[in-house]
Amino acid sequence: MTAVPSVTPLAGPGPLIDVHAHFFHARGPRADWAAVNDARFRAGERIGITYHVASILGSWGLSSPVYFPSPSDVTDGNDAMLAIARAHPDRVRAYVTVNPNHTAHAVAEIDRCVARGAVGVKLAASRRADDPLLDAVCEAAARHGLPILHHIWQHRTRDWPSQEISDGADLAVLARRHPAVTFILAHIGGGGDYMHTFPAIVDAPNVVVDVSGSGVDRGMLDEAILRLGAERVLWGSDVTMETGLAKLMGVEAIRLTADQTALIRWGNARRIFPAGSFPTVEPAAARQAAG
Amino acid sequence: MIDVNALIGPYPFRYVPHPDPEVLVHVLAREGLAGAWVGHLPSAFHRDPSAGNSQLFTALATHAPALRPVPTIRPDWPRWHDAVRAAAAAGAPAVRAYPTIWQLGPHDPRMRELALACAEARLALLLTVRFEDLRQRHPLDTAGDLSAAAVRDLARAGAGVRLVVTAAGRDLIEEVHWGLTPEEQRRVVWDISWIWGPPEDHLAKLFHTIGADRFVYGTHWPLRLTQTARANLALLPDDLASARLADPDRLFA
């Protein structure tokens, strides 16, 4: 565990929620898993991340594929993720990861992990987003009031190896079937053509986007905010935190209002996750509500 | 600090906001950078880059010495030696070449000839591994990434060669670096525009294994957020807080 920072965070002093983080665990393929987790905490402290909302995708490929995790790997990964959240209650929240091909297990896993503190559902790429098989998962999410973070390729022009990839248009179809659920379209900087994503989802108001991913194209943030509005854009990092920090610096450079910036940093996350998920953010929310 | 990896001009495969020298000057000031080595983005895709080079020299003239031109030179184009001489005469610190776009293979002797001609003129040869992420490229953008083999081949071309390789990731950097002799390694510097930071900490690992003095500051403006390089350095672990990048103006020192 790393020390609490004593300097002003690089991203400024306000609350900051990373809605797209990952951790690793001992039952995956990486010998350096603990060091990578520590590095996320270290960078998070330096950046000023208030909460990491994170998932573990099964065994990360050790005993079943990352995007097609077996039920037992799903359970192991979720248990590891919940353990990290329990060990860091002040800064980590867990998604429950599911594979909808094993529908009964997926729904049971959502119930089980919500009872243990999960605040959202993570869907990787085990099934295309518009597939009816996802309906049971969405209904479970609705029942618990959870958002669904859905792994997305920005403009699917063909199949890609090792995943049943979806894009914004696919997710919009699912979102229209489940208007009570908020869907977080993952990582607009995570590959593919984000310029396709924005018009594909603009008419599906229960789809929001996270800005995570290694892609840092100039113009991407501006377009996301212009096309969708700041109230549909959430901050996240995924596997590259320096690009996450750069995007926060980029948001500063494009001179949004303080309210818009607050929405992206934490306000939208506070709105779409279950009430009370981020208690240390509440004072800032109260101050903002008071004007 | 100097940004070695900036460009002006539009990009053929997507809209890029205001890729103009006036804006670049403003961005450099915001980022606390003293200047930039600036190429002409469309020239990478022109058959004959000479007109683009003229545009570049003209566009940057009023911003000297902060913005220094890095013209594009094709070693498969007639009288390219003249362009090398013109670059040196114009005070360019380097020239840009795009062998994959021009379909020059990793061991093409014309690229080695260009590297040696640049060495003789005390110009660095600036190579670009990629302009965009592989996953978002336009269907017509089929050139592919620059290979490690191509970089190794040029690093081995001669003692005076100086390569500045931009937009490389950890795998390619390591494959090149550890595939060269110590003497050859010293001929190559890498910009940090596309190296991952935490939690994977590729930049920190490379600083530890290869040394920070093999890296230079680069942003890949206007294609990528300029802030990424700054963010990456700011997130280095404490034991690398005093790490110093190489000074690109001293490559021939």
Q: pLDDT (tens digit, 9 = 90+) per residue, B156-173?
A: 999 999 999 999 999 999
Residue of chain B nearest A23, judged by CA positions: B199
d(CA B94, CA B113): 15
Q: Are A223 and A252 a contacting pair, CB within 8 Å?
A: no
User: CA of B227, closest CA in chain A: separation in Å?
Assistant: 5
What is residue A221's three-state secondary structure? helix
Task: Please tell me if residue A163 touches chain B, with a CB cutoff of 8 Å.
Answer: no
Task: Please tell me if residue A203 touches chain B, with a CB cutoff of 8 Å.
Answer: no
Proportion of chain B above pLDDT 90, given as a percent = 98
Q: pLDDT averaged over consecutive 10-residue blocks of chain A (291 residues)?
A: 62 96 98 98 98 98 98 98 98 98 98 98 96 98 98 90 94 98 97 94 98 97 97 98 98 92 98 97 91 79
Tokens, residue B13: 């495969």
Q: Are B161 and B154 a contacting pair, CB within 8 Å?
A: yes
Beta-strand runs (E) in A196-253: 207-210, 233-234
d(CA B245, CA B2): 10
Of B133, B223, B235, the CB nearest to A191: B133
Residue to mutate among B227, B236, B238, B239, with most A CBs inside 10 A, is: B227
Residue of chain A nearest B139, judged by CA positions: A157
Of A216, A241, A249, the CB nearest to B198: A241
d(CA B98, CA B110): 12
Residue to mutate among B205, B208, B228, with most A CBs inside 10 A, is: B228
d(CA B166, CA A165): 31
Domain count, chain B: 1
Whole-number Cα distances in Å, B4 to A184, B113, B249 = 37, 23, 10
Tokens, residue A42: 């270290």
φ, ψ dihedrals at B101, nearest 5°: -65, -35
Task: Please tell me if residue A243 touches chain B, with a CB cutoff of 8 Å.
Answer: yes
d(CA B88, CA B148): 27
Give the mean pLDDT of chain B.
97
What is residue A92's three-state secondary structure? strand
Q: Are B234 and A249 a contacting pair, CB within 8 Å?
A: no
Residues of B within 8 A of A31 (CB-CB) are none
User: CA of A114, closest CA in chain B: separation in Å?
Assistant: 27
Whether the pLDDT of residue B206 is over 50: the answer is yes
Task: Please tell me if residue A37 touches chain B, with a CB cutoff of 8 Å.
Answer: yes
Q: State yes or no: cis peptide before A205, omega within 30 of 0.
A: no
Give the pLDDT confidence score for residue B253 in this predicted structure: 85
d(CA A204, CA A163): 24
Q: Are B31 and B63 a contacting pair, CB within 8 Å?
A: no
Is B199 within 8 Å of A241 when comparing Cβ atoms? yes
* CA dihedral over A164, B196, A243, B141, signed as positive or negative: negative
Tokens, residue A275: 């009430």
**Strand pairing partners for B82?**
none
Q: Which residues contact A73 (CB under 8 A, 6 or more apart)?
A: A58, A59, A62, A63, A64
Beta-strand runs (E) in A119-163: 120-123, 148-150
User: CA of A96, closest CA in chain B: separation in Å?
Assistant: 21
Q: Which domains can be identified in chain A, with CATH numbers?
A: 17-289 (3.20.20.140)
Q: Which residues contact A272 (CB under 8 A, 6 or more apart)?
A: A147, A182, A184, A208, A234
DSSP A157: -
Return the CATH number at B133. 3.20.20.140
Residues of B within 8 A of A216 (CB-CB) are 224-225, 228
Angle at B218 between CA B222 and CA B244, to 5 degrees: 155
Q: Which residues contact B87 (CB under 8 A, 6 or more apart)?
A: B53, B69, B71, B73, B95, B121, B123
Tokens, residue A165: 């990839």
Which residue numbers of B have CB closer than 8 Å to A's CBs? Answer: 14-17, 30, 132-133, 135-136, 139, 196-201, 203, 221-228, 230-232, 234-235, 237
Is B225 within 8 Å of A217 when comparing Cβ atoms? yes
User: How crowded is residue B245: how many other Cβ atoms within 10 Å of its Cβ?
Assistant: 21
Q: Does the pTM exceed 0.90?
A: yes
Q: Which domain holds residue B112?
A: 2-250
Give the pLDDT confidence score for residue A255 in this predicted structure: 86
Beta strand B188-191 pairing with B215-216: parallel
d(CA B214, CA B247): 10
